[in-house]
Amino acid sequence: MPISSGTIKFISSLRRKKMRQNYHNFTAEGHRIVAELLAQDAYPVKHIYALENWAAEHGAGLTVPLTVVTPRELGRITQLTTPNQVLALCDIPAIPTDLPGGIAEGWSLYLDGIQSPSNLGALLRIADWFGFQHVIGGPGTADLYNSKTIQASMGSFLRVSYRTGELSEITTAFPELVTFGADLDGEDIFSVNAPTRGVLVIGSEGPGIREEARSQVQRWVTIPRAAERQAESLNAAVAAGILAGQLVNGVR
C-alpha cells in the first residue's frame, strides 16, 4: 500500500517538539540506526518507510509494517537535508525522572542547558565511548528526540540511560560522588588525580553552567590552552570528550 498524504503530513509534523510530545512518536533515519532500533525493545518501532532497494535487501523477515516509498515521498517525510534510504517511526517511552542507584557505581554526565540538539547527540556518543552509563539533561537542554540529536548520537541514545532532572537531586541522593564542573579557571585536567566514579557537569557554550548548578559543583577543571593562543573556548562536546577521557583514563 502506498504512503498516504495524511501519513506524510503526520510524519512531517514530528519535526516539532510539541507534536512529538503529543503523539509520543519520533523518527530515526539511516540503515545503521534503524537496524539497531529493530534489534532492541526500549524504543518500539511502529513502521518502516524505505526505498525499494532497501526493502528488497533488508525487508525479508521484518516483524513491523514496511511501506515502500519513492525518493520523492521519502524527501517529504525526512528530517535530514539529504534523505537516507530508510526511516523508522518509533514510540517515545516515558523518560524516567527518578535516579537509579547505578549512578553511584561509575561516571555520569550532567548537561546543564545544552541547547544544541547536535551537541546533545555528540555528548551522548562521548558518554557511550567512555563508558558513562547515565546522562542527565538539566533545564534548557535540547530534546532527546529531535532528529538532529538522534542522528548525531549515531545510535548511542540506545546504549546510554538518559533522564532529566536537577543536579541538586544527584548531589543530595549521592553525596559520596565528587561533582566536577568545566570552567576556564579550574584545575588543569591533566594534573587531576580523579576518583573512579563521579559526575561531570558540562554547560552551554555561551553562558556556561547556571548558578543553580554551580553551587553543586565541588571541583572545577579546565583544559589548558596553548600559550599565546586566543581561542575563547572549546565546543561543549569537544571539551566534554577531553575531560571525560582524562577523568576515566587518567593516572590515579
> Looking at the structure, do residues 37 and 86 belong to the same domain, yes or no?
yes
Residue with more model confidence, 157 or 82: 157
Instruction: Return the DSSP state at 140.
Output: T
Predicted confidence (pLDDT) at residue 252 exceeds the cutoff of 70: no
Q: Are residues 47 and 143 in the same domain?
A: no
- C-alpha distances out from residue 54 to 39, 45, 72, 200, Å: 17, 17, 15, 41
- The confidence band for 152, taking pLDDT boundaries of 50, 70 and 90, is very high
Q: Is 172 exposed, middle or buried (0-12, 13-18, 19+ CB in 10 A)?
A: exposed
Helices (H), the chain: 5-13, 17-23, 31-38, 52-58, 71-77, 117-129, 147-153, 167-173, 211-214, 236-249
AA letter at 237: A
Mean pLDDT of the chain: 93
Alpha carbons 120 and 135: distance in angstroms, whole number? 10
**pTM, to two decimals:** 0.92
Can you give the pLDDT at residue 108?
96
In a domain, 234, yes or no: yes
Which of 91, 111, 142 delimits the end of a domain? Answer: 91
Confidence band, pLDDT 50/70/90 cuts, at residue 34: very high
Q: What is the pLDDT of residue 231?
A: 78
Identify whether 138 is part of a domain. Answer: yes
Show which of 71, 91, 111 is a domain's final residue: 91
Domain assignment present for 16 = yes
| pLDDT at residue 229 greater than cutoff 90 | no
104-105-110-116 Cα dihedral, nearest 10 degrees: -150
SS3 helix, strand, coil % of the chain, rounded to 5?
35, 25, 40
Beta strand 25-29 pairing with 86-91? antiparallel
- Pairwise CA distance, residues 170 & 79, whole Å: 35
Q: Are residues 111 and 221 in the same domain?
A: yes
Query: Is residue 96, in this structure, part of any structural domain at all?
Result: no
Task: State whether 49 and 111 are in the same domain.
Answer: no
In the structure, what pLDDT confidence band is assigned to residue 160 with cuts at 50, 70 and 90?
very high
Same domain for 74 and 164, yes or no, is no
CATH code where residue 62 lies: 3.30.1330.30
Residue 62 in domain = yes
124 pLDDT higher than 80: yes
Per-residue pLDDT at 1: 66
* The three three-digit cell numbers of residue 203, written as one number: 554547560
- Using an 8 Å Cβ cutoff, are 244 and 107 in contact? yes
Angle between helices 117-129 and 236-249 (to 10 degrees): 10
Check if the beta carbon of residue 115 is closer than 8 Å to that of residue 147: no
Q: Are residues 143 and 181 in the same domain?
A: yes
Domain that holds residue 26: 5-91
Looking up residue 110, the CATH number of its domain turns out to be: 3.40.1280.10
65 and 112: one domain?
no
Q: Which of 50, 72, 91 is the last residue of a domain?
A: 91
Do 106 and 225 belong together in one domain? Answer: yes
For residue 150, pLDDT over 80 is answered with: yes
Single out the residue of 57, 63, 61 nearest to residue 86, CA to CA.
Answer: 57
Question: Looking at the 3D structure of the chain, how many domains does it have?
Answer: 2
Same structural domain for residues 55 and 110? no
Q: Are residues 245 and 156 in the same domain?
A: yes
Would residue 172 count as lying in a domain?
Answer: yes
C-alpha dihedral sign at 229, 232, 236, 242:
positive
Residue pLDDT, tens place only, 68-106 = 999 999 999 999 888 889 999 999 998 676 788 889 999
* Same-domain status, 237 and 112: yes
For residues 79 and 157, membership in a common domain is answered with: no
